Structure 1
Amino acid sequence: MDKRILALVAAFGASLIYGINHTVAKDVMPNYIEPFGFILLRVTGAAALFWLISVWGPKEKIDTKDWPRLISCSVFGMVINMLSFFKGLSLSTPINSSVIVTITPIIVFILSAILIKERITFIRTFGVLLGFAGALGLVLFGQEMQQNAPNIALGNILFIVNATSYGIYLVLVKPLVAKYHSFTIMKWVFLIAIVINFPFTISEFKAVQWTTLPFDAIWRMAFVVIGTTFSTYLLNIYALKQLKASTIGAFVYLQPLIGILYAVVVGADKLNFIRVTAAGLVFLGVYLVTKTKKEPKISTEGNSSN
């Protein structure tokens, strides 16, 4: 199969998991684990998995000049991003979180043009705006879930911090992806994340009653560690080898759509004409952002391999 198609499938897979995660993770907090304690579980579990699979990867040494960027990727992608999202999710609603993260593509789009010189075209700009309109429509006309949401305003602000931080991470990690194997990048950024997150998260982690957790909480925690953390970061880092950072960012628009579809499947929500129309806008927007036009290669600057 074509590498670009595989990369698109990987990006879609990551968005699929993220979309489901908004509800899965919400249902386990704060009854069984507080948000910051959940983050320590996430980064520790993912770090262990990445170091384990790195045995089958190349033995690469990180250049001294790349360590500041690697640490920055950890700070924005596995510290600020995760802490703000899970804290926000404990205060607000899954539907709010799934729509607010859709500002990520806009942030990535702008930063990619400024920092790594990705080309801005009318079609891709139009796709970003179209996808945003569709994602916004899904929420504006969606049924809000207000239970277990003690401070929606603060939670929504934290979602904005989360989306901005993750957008910065996608742009920062792009040059590293072109230079190192995915396993090498992930094992180090998650190990660094454990060290940075530890003082903020250890107290809530220790408060968890691990021996009395019901199966419903255990499988949700496992989903967040193995699916939402390990799998999604691996899928996105693979996709970044073939796609632009802004293209990966555009897949965030699928999250509110997936979240609503998941709610429909489990019987918690229903489809209507407005939602179907909004979903169509999301798919069209993602298509426009991800489609490519074959052009003569005059310069390597802006290529997906940068």
Structure 2
Amino acid sequence: MSKQVQVHGALFLVALIYGSNYSIAKEVMPVYVGPYGLIVIRVVAAAIFFGIFSRLVTKEKIVGWADNLRAILCGLTGIAINQLCFFGGLNLTSPINAALLMVIVPIIVLLFSAILLRERVSLRKVAGIVLACLGAFLLIYTSRTGTSTGNMLGDLLIILNAVSFGLYLVLVKPLMQKYNAFTIVSRIFTVGAFIVVPFGWKQVSAPDYSSFPVEIWLALVYMVIAVTIIAYLFNTWALRYANPSLVGAYIYLQPLLAIFIAIGFGKDVFTLQKGIYALLIFAGVYLVSRTRQAVAEQ
């Protein structure tokens, strides 16, 4: 299997996991666990897992003042600000609004890549982003219902989350070219855990966990193992071989996959219109992936 296929497979799995997270997280919060308490559970559990696993896999350490500072910034942008704003925003706004606003991530990545990494912004890449953004917008817009309402503060928090995550994808790229993926993920989750605990300690200690039904426990396990550990690890690994713009472009698949999941559970129907919008999304991702720096074969 070629490296390109592996990278796209990893990014597709991440998009699938994130696409399902919008609905699953809303089942848990705020009735069972508050948004910031949910973040503490996810981030602390992941920090412990990656801390132990990284010691078993590699003895590598991040060295140098510049790399350590970059790792701290990655923990701040990729874990703390990203998670606090996303779950705080999702708790207030609708999953549809959140998914729609998250499609600005590739645009943020493209801007930060051009500024910080001096990545060349080709016309093909711009066309791919515009095409995929159009498909995602139309897909989500036509899927809205009369009961789907947003919240201004929630929407603003989702936008801030998108900006923070886009910056993280750019900041972590140089580290991934020098260190093992487990070394990077372990450090950024450790940094993130120290920051999010003060925000969510009251919410994580308030619930009566013994009263949780089985499906809520399964949702919590899924969000820790899949949404947090697997998704971050695969995303970080993919950045070793793909540029940030390609990784960011896969955000457009999230609303598409979310609808497919809903169809599988009988909560939505597939139409020709949705099929056309899906083709726009895939075409946009293809154009971004076909740029010169999209995937480095190694």
TM bucket normalised to smaller: over 0.9
Alpha carbons 1:95, 1:259 under 8 Å: kept? no
Question: SS in structure 2 opposite 1:141?
Answer: helix
Larger displacement relative to structure 2 (161-170 or 49-58)? 49-58
- How much does 1:8 deviate? 1.2
- How much does 1:198 deviate? 1.2
Equivalent residue for 1:281? 280
Equivalent residue for 1:67? 68
Equivalent residue for 1:161? 160
Write the distance in 1 (CA, Å) between the matches of 2:21 and 2:146. Answer: 15
Equivalent residue for 2:101? 100
Alpha carbons 1:95, 1:145 under 8 Å: kept? no
Q: Is residue 238 from structure 1 mapped to residue 229 from structure 2 by the alignment?
A: no
Equivalent residue for 1:25? 25
Q: Is residue 138 from structure 1 mapped to residue 144 from structure 2 by the alignment?
A: no
Deviations 1:72-128 (A, max 9, x none): 101111011101111111111112111211000010011111111222111111000
Alpha carbons 1:108, 1:168 under 8 Å: kept? yes
- How much does 1:145 deviate? 7.4
- Return closer, same or farther for 1:260/1:132 CA change in 2, 3 Å cut-off: same
Equivalent residue for 2:10? 10
Amino acid of the structure 2 residue aligned with 1:11: L
Give the TM-score normalised by the residue count of structure 1: 0.92
Q: Is residue 193 from structure 1 mapped to residue 192 from structure 2 by the alignment?
A: yes
- How much does 1:242 deviate? 0.5
Equivalent residue for 1:299? none
Write the distance in 1 (CA, Å) between the matches of 2:113 and 2:292. Answer: 19
Over the residues paired in the alignment, what is the CA RMSD in angstroms?
Answer: 1.7
Question: SS in structure 1 opposite 2:28?
Answer: coil
Equivalent residue for 2:41? 41
Deviations 1:200-221 (A, max 9, x none): 1101111121222111110111
Gaps of 5+ in 2: none
Equivalent residue for 2:113? 112
Write the distance in 1 (CA, Å) between the matches of 2:77 and 2:288. Answer: 24
- How much does 1:272 deviate? 2.1
Question: SS in structure 1 opposite 2:77?
Answer: helix
- Return closer, same or farther for 1:132/1:284 CA change in 2, 3 Å cut-off: same
Equivalent residue for 1:270? 269
Alpha carbons 2:124, 2:291 under 8 Å: kept? no
Equivalent residue for 1:179? 178
Equivalent residue for 1:247? 246
Write the distance in 2 (CA, Å) between the matches of 1:43 and 1:146. Answer: 32
Amino acid of the structure 1 residue aligned with 2:253: L
Matched residues, percent identical?
39
Alpha carbons 1:54, 1:183 under 8 Å: kept? yes
Question: SS in structure 2 opposite 1:159?
Answer: helix
- How much does 1:274 deviate? 2.1
Write the distance in 1 (CA, Å) between the matches of 2:100 and 2:145. Answer: 11
Amino acid of the structure 2 residue aligned with 1:118: E
Write the distance in 1 (CA, Å) between the matches of 2:46 and 2:175. Answer: 19
Question: SS in structure 2 opposite 1:31?
Answer: coil
Question: SS in structure 1 opposite 2:51?
Answer: helix
Deviations 1:144-181 (A, max 9, x none): 4747x6x6222111111111110000000000000110
Larger displacement relative to structure 2 (262-271 or 220-229)? 262-271
Deviating 4+ runs (over 3 angstroms): 144-147, 302-305
Write the distance in 1 (CA, Å) between the matches of 2:145 and 2:84. Answer: 23
Alpha carbons 2:125, 2:291 under 8 Å: kept? no
Amino acid of the structure 1 residue aligned with 2:73: S
Question: SS in structure 2 opposite 1:187?
Answer: helix
Write the distance in 2 (CA, Å) between the matches of 1:179 and 1:55. Answer: 17
Write the distance in 2 (CA, Å) between the matches of 1:44 and 1:265. Answer: 32
Give the paired residue count: 296
Equivalent residue for 1:221? 220
- How much does 1:291 deviate? 1.7
Alpha carbons 2:173, 2:239 under 8 Å: kept? yes
Write the distance in 2 (CA, Å) between the matches of 1:141 and 1:19. Answer: 17
Larger displacement relative to structure 2 (46-55 or 230-239)? 46-55
Alpha carbons 1:35, 1:86 under 8 Å: kept? yes
